[in-house]
Structures are given as C-alpha cells and as structure tokens.
Structure 1
Amino acid sequence: MIQNSSYKIHPLQKITERGMQYYQLIRGIEAIGGAILLLFAAIALVWANSQYADSYAAFLHTQIAFSLGSIEIKTDLHFIINDVLMTLFFLAVGVEVRKEIHDGTLADLKSACLPVIAACGGVIVPALIYLSISLSAGQAHQGWAIPTATDIAFAVGILALLGKRIPASARIFLLTLAIIDDIIAVLIIALFYSSGLNATGAIFVVMGLLLVFIMQRMGIFSMLPYVVPACLIWYGLYITGVHPSLAGVILGLLTPVAVRPSSQHGFNGIKAAYEQIKKQQDCVESSKKLQLANRELHSPVNRVSYAFSPWVAFLIMPLFALANAGVNLTQINFDYTGVYSVITGISIALILGKPLGIFLITWLCVRIGIAQFPATFNYRWLLLVSCLAGIGFTMSIFTATLAFQLDPILMDASKIGVLIGSIISALLGLAIGIYFLKTEPRKI
C-alpha cells in the first residue's frame, strides 16, 4: 500500500487542481456569467457586421442530422440552440422558482407580496409604453411583451459588481422580482406566442408527466432516467404548438425538494461503507456506495441546480447571445413600417418603463400600507433595483424571436432595441449604485 508521505504530486496534477480551484471560484461569482453573456453578444454584433457576415449566417444554419435506422432528423444549429438548449435554461429557471416556493422568498406570501406586486408593475407599464408607441405602426404591436422581461443572470451580475456594501435585501428583492418576471414571461409565451394548439401533442405531454410521477414514487432520483419523460414532454409541446423549451419549466417545477435517501444508500449505507474503508475491506465498492449516498443525501432540486447552472451560465446563454444578438445593421431597412417604432418602443420601455412601473407601484403599496419594505431596504435601493430590472436581454431576445418569427426585419429591429435598452439600463444601474454607495454613510 502506498503511503501518502511517499506519494509525490505530479506538476500536471497540481495545475489541474489549481484549475479546479479557480473554476469553483469563478462559478460562484454571478458577475462572471453576465460578463461572458455581454462578450458573446458583442462578438455576434461585430461578426454579423464584418466582412465575414456570410460566415455568421452559415454558422447559424449549419446542418445537423441524427439518424437511427430508418429514422432521420435534420435541423440546423439555430434550432438546436433556441429550441433544445434553451430547454435547459428554462429548467434552471424552473428549479430556482421551485426552490423559492419551497423555502425561499416565495414561500411566505407576506414576504413575496411586495416583489410580486413590483414585478406586475414592471410588466404592465413597459407593455403599455411600447403599445402607445407602436400601435399604429403596422405589425409592430406584436412585440408588446418583449420589454416586460428581466434577465436574472445579467441583472444580478451587475448588482454583484457594486460589491458587498449593497444590502442582501436588495439582491433578494431583485432576484425575486426577476423570478416573477420570468414566470410571467413564460405564461405570456405559452398564451400569446404559441401557434394554434394541436391536441395530438397533449398525449405525449401527459405520458411524460405520468412517467415523471411514477418514477418519483418509485424513488428514482438519478437525473439520467428522466431524460426519457423530458423528451416526451418536449416533443409533445413541440407538435402541440407551444414552444418546446417550456418543457424545462415544467420539469423544474416538478423537481422534488425533499431529501428521501433509500435504505441502502442512506445514513446506514454511509456507516457501513465507512466501516469497510476503515478496515481496508473492498474500498472500491465502499467508495461507490459513499458516492451514491452523497447523491441521495442532497435534495434533487439542489442537485439539478448545481449540475446545470454552470452549463447554462457559461455555455447555453453565451451560445444563445451569439446566435441571436448578431444583427446586421447595414441590412436593416429603416424605411420598413414599424422599425423605428419597435426600436424606440423597446428601448424606452426598458429604460424608463421598467423603473417607473416597479418604483411607482411599490411606492403606492408601501404608502397605503398594503406592504412594507424588508429590513435594510429603502427607496434608494428600490430605485437601483428598478433600473437594473430594465436589463431584458436573454428573455427579451427570446420573446422577440417568437413575436416576429414571420418578420425578420422587425425581429432584427427588436433585437437592436433590446440591446440598446439593456445596455443603457445596466450602465444607469451601475452609475446610480456607485453614487448611492459614495453617499451612503459607512458603518463603523
């Protein structure tokens, strides 16, 4: 048996271990995800407006084919990113909502009341502003829901850049507000931006849901077996006419939050495996048992969140930005009916509509006594959160691709409006946050 004292760590192993330490550090910094998202959006814009613009279009329409015997599926990269990979993004959203409903800010109605009301104001006012600008501009009014969403990762990431002096209550308020925004955005997509419903797909959805419930009752909490019902639900929504990525939200909300270790791999399993390792008996098998026990002693909702969050933040959302933020500005026909209205409406709705809707309805509710601020939260931080909520980005661009899927010119115009509104909202939030921190008295 090789003793630890005689074991020399190889330099390459040291590099690997150091890399894993940096990875764990980076995945815990929320601002990193927002920075990568912005970087890939900038790359897409530069690429689409460069001399290599044709290669950008070719990249998005790269053909991807799957074949199994006589079954063959052909699609392109843009579909894979927007309809398949974004399912994992919505799974992450659904899991976060599930956690908040169980033991977070949405668990207590009184605690959730104020940000829920604020989120409603942040949806209604931007939509009304957009409609007031675009209602008489042809088909531009179809994009009324685009400025109603808030990008959770980007908004919380910008808030994190301001440092630890920002009270935790401000972060929780923004996070809850953004989650409610996402729930409303999902409902809007399902109700207003899905094609005519085909009842045939409902059979697959029901089959998938039944399979999920049966597997949960059987005590199957490993993620891999749930791929089958996930595919059934995704395909059912797809042929039904509802955007298939919403399958992620459904699965996220159905993810169990309770820890239910089995009799073999629970606490008794840990004890037995530990005793075997102490006696140096069958260490390989004991280590496998410990791995299983470690998995089962964590709630499924936390395991799913931990497993998918880095993929969503560092791969899926950047890919989505790369695939959807690349608008060729030289090819937009500004004489086309509705282009100016879409760009102006979305930009103003995000920059002004979001803060106005959130701030005013919150002020009114607090003023008349319907709700009250949490501890350490005040109107200064409310204004900061309201401005950061104007960062629509991922959800807004996603909604834009659905709202104008039959009108590429207005789709590109809407993406420009989202980029302008989101960037200005981010810069405005940073400026306000820095000013508040400078004028906020320091605690001794």
Structure 2
Amino acid sequence: MKHHSHAEPSTLRRFLASEAAGGVVLMASAALALALANSPWAEAYRSLLATPMAGHSTLHWINDGLMAVFFLLVGLEIKRELLDGHLRHWSARVLPGVGALGGMLVPALIYVYFNASSPEATRGWAIPSATDIAFALGVLALLGDRVPGALKVFLTALAILDDLGAIVIIAVFYAGDPAAPPMLGAGVTLFLLLGLNLFEVKFLTPYLLLGVALWHFVQLSGVHATLAGVLLAVMIPLRLSGPDEDEHTPLHRLENALGPFVAFVVLPLFGFANAGVALGGGDLGAAAGAPILLGVALGLFLGKQAGVFAAVALAIGTRVASRPPKTGWAQLYGVSVLCGVGFTMSLFIGQIAFEADEGAMRATKIGVLVGSAASIALGSLVLLLAARRAAAHPLTHS
C-alpha cells in the first residue's frame, strides 16, 4: 500500500482526462443524433437503430448490451474510490455525499410536483436525479485552468456517489419482477465469481466469461441486464496478497482497459442512439405541454443546483465538512449548476421507466436536452465570471 500515495494522483489525473475527453466526444455524438433526427435523413437514422441483430434491434444491443459494460466500469470506479481512492476516508465522503443526496432528492420532488396526477408519468421520478460525469467533466475540460483542481476532484467524487445512488434506485425501483429459474442461474454464477475472488484468481478471462453468463441470466430473468455489470464489478478483486501487487490487480487492469472503450465507444454510441428527437411539427407541440418535460427539465436545471448547493452550504456552514481548498462560493455554485447535466444516466432511467411509451420518452429526451443545455450554459458562465473575479482579486478570493 505504501506506493499508493505516488500512484493515486496520476491515476486520478488519467481518469479526469479520459472522462473529460470522452465528454467532449459524447457532446458531439448527441449533437449529431439531434441533427440527423431533424434532417432529411431522419428516417434512415431511425431505421438504423431498428435494424435487427441476433434477435434484437441495434438500439436494444446498445442500451442493454454495451451499457452493461458502462455499468461495469462505473462499478469498478465506485469500488476503487470507496475502498482505495479519494473517497476511502469518511471525511472525504461527507461533502460530495451530502451534495449528491441533496442533488437527487430535490429534482425528484420537482418532477413529482408536476406529475403527481399521473401514476404512469410518476414512474419517471428518478430521471432528473442523475449527474452525467462525462458530460460535466467535459465542460470543465473546455474551461481549462479557470477551474481549480480541487473543484474537479469534488465534482468527480459527487458524480461517483451520485452514480452509486442511481444504481441503487434502478435496482430497487426499476428492476422488474425476476423470473425464478434465470435468477437461480445468476445466483450460481455469482457464487462462482465469489470463489474466484476469495481464491484471488489474477487472470481476468474467467471473471469476464462468467460475467457474460451473468448478463445472460439477468437478461432472461426480467431484471435490467445492465445491473449484471455492477454485480460483476463487485466481484473483481481490488487487492491481492503478496508484495508489489496493488497496482496490478484485476480491478486496476480491467478499469484501465475499459476506460477508453467506454469513453470513446460505448457512451458516444449511447448518445447517438438516444439523443435523436424530432423538434419540429406537432411532436414538439405535444411534448412541450407534457408535465414530464417540465418535470425533467426543471428538475435538472433548478432542482440539481438547488439541492446540491443547499446541501453543500449547510454542511460547510454547520462545519460538518469543509470547503474544497482554493475554491470560492461562486465556484461551488457553478459546479452545483453543472450537476444538472444529466444526459447519460437520465436518458437511461427514462428508457427503463417509459420503455413502451414513445410520447413519454420523447418528452423525457427533450426535457433532458433542455435541462442539461441550460445547466451547461449557466454553470459555465458562473465559473467563468468566478475565475475572472478570482484573478482580479486574488487576496479576497476565499
């Protein structure tokens, strides 16, 4: 463990760089999908996503297959950060933890306020509760050194805990009713994975082969297949006994291998497949009046910034936690606004909540795009103004 103090900062820097660059690519793929869906090639775009492949559509393979790999990486990152990274100490978890909690509760309340009269629409209550770490860090990357490094670490920690909350929400509220025989198969597979972990098997191949079997059983059970990725991540060993093994464990190797693939292939494909929504004609008029759209857009834009900033300010004001070093209140507020960028996880939860309702899903997509775009615009403006003020008054910036 003694060399972690040297290796961890470089790991975190690589993580931030990968997420930030991936966020820029994700923005471009979402913009391309939006452009195609509102162009003469809109029908070709929809046909491409509906193309059958091995019994399922292309869209299904992206949302249920490739996104399982995304959830595997998220699970690995959460496990590493909580057990061996920046969040391994309770003191480091408090501020991003309360921020994440406030940032999940207030958007959900705003959504329910607009949709309480419809039990079907209320199913989407968790849609505005998620922060998109790749998108948000992509925005911070574009702002460059105008944002203190401590603020980027804070946003990363908050988004990781936010992802943990989203995984719990999906597992508890959106998992579906599992079928017994496939769940038995999933249980046996998990038992075998646990055996590999306890015997400290170093090779990744048996874990991954059993992971594919686990995904298959979870898919057949009726529970959303992406949760198999999280379950597999829990079973990948973070530490191995013996000297000089810490940085070469299966978890570190798998996380490093998956990072670029998820950032530059999985998430851009998901954005391309799910961000395309027609903004013209009657479709927009129908969606624009939908309480779902208002709940999602205002939940992300108003709910996220209010929930995160109020919770963080309360924690700092009561001295439960301290402010990140070299950051001002305006910068904390700007990052709180950026937490309203809920693209990937928000769209994903929307797909689960409204799988068979095209109108509700259309309203969700427009709401996510509007709420996220407004959060990017205001958050970037606040951070730019705060950086300019800090440069002009370096001694008073605190």
Q: Pick from 172, 194, 206 the counterpart of residue 225 of structure 1.
A: 206
Work out whether 1:254 is the aligned partner of 2:235.
yes
Q: Assess, with a 3 A threshold, how the Cα gap between structure 1 residues 367 and 217 changes in structure 2: closer, same or farther.
A: closer
Give runs of aligned pairs for residues 320-399 of structure 1, distance below 5 A. Answer: 320-330=270-280, 333=283, 339-399=289-349
Offset of 1:371 from its aligned partner?
2.5
Deviation, structure 1 residue 335: 6.7
The answer (yes or no) to whether the contact 1:339–1:410 under 8 Å persists in 2 is no
Evaluate the alpha carbon distance shift between residue 334 and residue 50 of structure 1 in structure 2; reply closer, same or farther with a 3 A threshold.
Answer: closer
Picking from 156, 173, 197, the partner of 1:216 is 197
Q: Tell me how far apart the structure 2 counterparts of residues 99 and 199 of structure 1 sit (CA, whole Å).
A: 32
Q: How far is 1:224 from its partner? A: 2.1
1:420 aligns with 2:370: yes
Given candidates 22, 33, 45, the residue that maps to 1:33 is: 22
Q: For the structure 1 residues 85 and 339, does the alpha-carbon distance in structure 2 shift closer, same or farther, using more than 3 Å as the test?
A: farther
* Change in CA separation of 1:338 and 1:423 when aligned onto 2, cut-off 3 Å: closer
Q: Are residues 1:97 and 2:86 paired?
A: no
Matched, 1:319 2:300: no
Contact 2:331 2:382 in 1 (8 A): no
Distance 1:194-1:29 versus aligned 2 partners, 3 A rule: closer
Match of 2:221 in 1: 240
CA contact (8 A) 1:90 1:245 kept: yes
Secondary structure class of the residue paired with 1:164: helix
TM-score by length of structure 2 reads 0.89
- Asked whether 1:175 is paired with 2:156, we answer yes
Matching residue's letter, 1:208: T
Q: Which moved more, 1:189-198 or 1:217-226?
A: 217-226
1:60 paired with 2:49, answer yes
Do 2:200 and 2:240's aligned partners in 1 also have CA atoms closer than 8 Å? Answer: no
CA contact (8 A) 1:259 1:297 kept: no
The CA distance in 2 between the partners of 1:173 and 1:247, in whole Å, is 28
Measured in 2, the distance between the counterparts of 1:332 and 1:152 equals: 33
Measure the CA separation in 2 of the matches of 1:307 and 1:83: 21
> Shift in Å at residue 26 of structure 1?
12
- By how many angstroms is 1:314 displaced? 0.5
Deviations 1:255-295 (A, max 9, x none): 2222457xxxx98xxxxxxxxxxxxxxxxxxxxxxxxxxx9
State the aligned residue count.
381
- Shift in Å, 1:163: 1.7
TM-score (norm 1): 0.80
Distance 1:379 1:232, change over 3 A: same
Is there any run of 5+ residues in structure 2 with no aligned partner, and where? 1-13
Aligned to 1:433: 383
Q: Which residue of 2 aligns with 1:204?
A: 185
C-alpha deviation, 1:86, in angstroms: 0.4
> Secondary structure, in 3 states, of the residue corresponding to 1:326?
coil
Residues in 1 aligned to 2:217 and 2:19: alpha-carbon distance in whole angstroms: 34
Identical counterparts, % of pairs: 38
1:94 to partner: Cα distance: 0.6
Which shows bigger deviation, 383-392 or 155-164? Answer: 155-164
Cα deviation, residue 227, structure 1: 2.4
Instruction: Describe the superposition over 1:382-429 as per-residue Cα deviations: whole angstroms up to 9, x where unpaired.
Output: 212101100000000101111111211110110110011111111211
CA distance in 2, matches of 1:313, 1:297: 22
Q: Corresponding residue for 1:48?
A: 37
1:90 Cα deviation (Å)? 0.6
Q: Distance in 2 between matches of 1:43 and 1:404?
A: 24
Give the number of the structure whose alpha-carbon radius of gyration is greater.
Answer: 1
What does the per-residue CA deviation read over 1:148-194, in whole Å, with 9 as the maximum and x for residues that have no partner? 00001111121122223422221121111111111111111111122
Instruction: Indicate conservation of the 8 Å contact 1:200/1:239, yes or no.
Output: no
CA shift in 2, pair 1:224/1:431, >3 Å: same
333 and 227 in structure 1: CA distance in 2 versus 1, 3 angstrom threshold? same
Q: 1:64 and 1:220, CA in 2 relative to 1: closer, same or farther beyond 3 A?
A: same
Partner of 2:4: none
Q: Does the C-alpha gap of structure 1 residues 340 and 260 become closer, same or farther in structure 2, counting only changes over 3 Å?
A: same
Alignment equivalent of 1:143, drawn from 124, 127, 130:
124
Q: Distance in 1 between matches of 2:218 and 2:35?
A: 35
Structure 2 Cα separation of the partners of residues 185 and 45 of structure 1: 25
Q: Deviations over 1:13-69 (max 9, x none)?
A: xxxxxxxxxxxx99945432112111111111121222222211210111112xxxx
Matched residues in 2 for 1:332 and 1:103: separation?
A: 52
Out of 394, 408, 411, the position equivalent to 2:358 is 408
Summarize the Cα distance change of 1:242–1:99 in structure 2 as closer, same or farther, 3 Å threshold: same
Distance 2:60 2:151 in 1: 37
